[in-house]
Amino acid sequence: MGHSAGGHLAFWLADSHHIPPHSPVLDPQPHIPLLGAIALAGAGGLRLTIDLSGYSTFAHDKPEVYALMGGPPPDLNDRYEAGNPGDLLQFNAPQILIQGTDDIQIPPELPFRWAEMSRRMGDPAIVTMFPSADHLDIVDQQSQAWTIVRDVVRKMAFS
């Protein structure tokens, strides 16, 4: 589970078993069984982030992705293939994407596009949108959204 840019890291970790053995980003740690992956207002895919850059006041824009990866995808395709969760699909585990409709940090379209891409690869993916919730409401334990987030995590962990 990860929030915002941590959503990318959570989904990347869930996909890391697909990283080619010769990749410089591979760290062969013991494999931990995956129950699922949860993105809380998460920037799941780097290529999706690039595609949606310029949307509203989207905080994670092309320059941030380029800085993380060292440049644009055409110049560094091997890095994107190893570092972008969308290039590493199929998770072989359920994915849940939780977001607020009033999020100006991560475009509300991103989780829907991710879920569609993931389902095409054969993975179950569910998007839950919270009306009037912003980027931080999803992780605020005092918000109405938090009860649902907590229940989703418990269900995934204990089912």
Cβ atoms of 49 and 87 within 8 Å: the answer is no
Q: Is residue 69 part of a domain?
A: yes
Sign of CA dihedral 102, 3, 72, 21: negative
Question: Which segment of 4-18, 39-53, 111-125 scores lowest on mean pLDDT?
Answer: 4-18
130 domain residue, yes or no? yes
Query: Distance of alpha carbon 40 from its chain centroid, rounded?
Result: 8
Number of domains, the chain: 1
**What one-character DSSP code corresponds to residue 86?**
G
Query: Is residue 26 domain-resident?
Result: no
Whether 27 is in a domain gets the answer no
Which tens digit of pLDDT belongs to each residue from 85-109? 988 888 888 999 999 999 888 888 8
SS3 content of the chain, % helix, strand, coil (to 5): 45, 10, 45
Q: Which domain holds residue 142?
A: 2-19+32-158
Residue 117 lies inside a defined structural domain of this protein: yes
| pLDDT tens digit sequence for 24-82 | 767 666 566 788 999 999 888 888 888 887 655 555 577 888 888 899 999 999 999 98
Q: Tell me whether residue 98 is in a domain.
A: yes
Of 64 and 125, which is predicted with more confidence?
Answer: 125
Taking the CA atoms of residue 105, residue 109, residue 113 and residue 118 in that order, the dihedral angle to the nearest 10 degrees is: 60
* Whole-number pLDDT of residue 59: 53
Report the CATH number that the domain containing residue 149 is assigned in CATH: 3.40.50.1820
Q: Establish if 57 belongs to a structural domain.
A: yes
